[in-house]
Amino acid sequence: MLILSPKRIHQKMIQKVKFIFFIAVLMTFSASLIMGCGKKAPPVAPYFIPLPAAQTLEYEIIDEKTLKLSWYIQIKNGLFLPGLDGFKIYRSKLPLTDCQDCPLRFELVEDIALDMVTISEDMVVASGDKEWYPMQYLEVLERNYNYVYKIKTYGKGAKGKDSKEISFNF
């Protein structure tokens, strides 16, 4: 008959606990290798086609007080490019008496949603292999101000590039 001493029983228990701990560590390490995303880099936003900027932004003063902003946007097969939802027109307006080196503070003056715009085929302008559609914005101006305008395209969670800025005194 085999009789185990209490010291021998205690050693066997310690060995079992060490073995179970080793297996637990091994399983945790293995699971972390298997369940990892496999990509060791910072997260990246989903890919999207960049939105086109408003092209050839120009201005004209009509009837001595009304500003007419004009620009072109690229279209394809008679439709606006996918993902483009509209334009935001920004303006900086500083009195002529203020410092000319003051920073520009742009404010949103108009949001033009493209779902309200219908493309007229007779207004489409072709240039090379691209088609362009003219857009306009009208605003009554106040005298003795320096105006700066820019246009930004937007759509489906994305923002386009700013157009060039136009600046004039009125």
Q: Is 151 inside any structural domain?
A: yes
Q: Is 1 inside any structural domain?
A: no
Q: Is 78 inside any structural domain?
A: yes
How many folded domains does the chain comprise? 1
Task: Please give the backbone phi and psi of residue 147, each rounded to the nearest 5 degrees, phi first.
Answer: -110, 140
Q: Is 41 inside any structural domain?
A: no
Q: What is the pLDDT of residues 21-40, one digit of tens each?
A: 889 888 888 877 776 666 66
CATH of the domain at 149: 2.60.40.10
| Residue located via tokens 């007419």 | 68
Q: Is 17 inside any structural domain?
A: no
Q: Is 158 inside any structural domain?
A: yes
pTM flag (> 0.85): no
Q: What is the pLDDT of residues 45-100, one digit of tens each?
A: 666 667 888 889 999 999 989 999 999 998 888 888 888 899 999 999 999 887 77
**pLDDT range class, residue 153, cuts 50, 70, 90:** very high
Q: Is 153 inside any structural domain?
A: yes
Q: Is 137 inside any structural domain?
A: yes
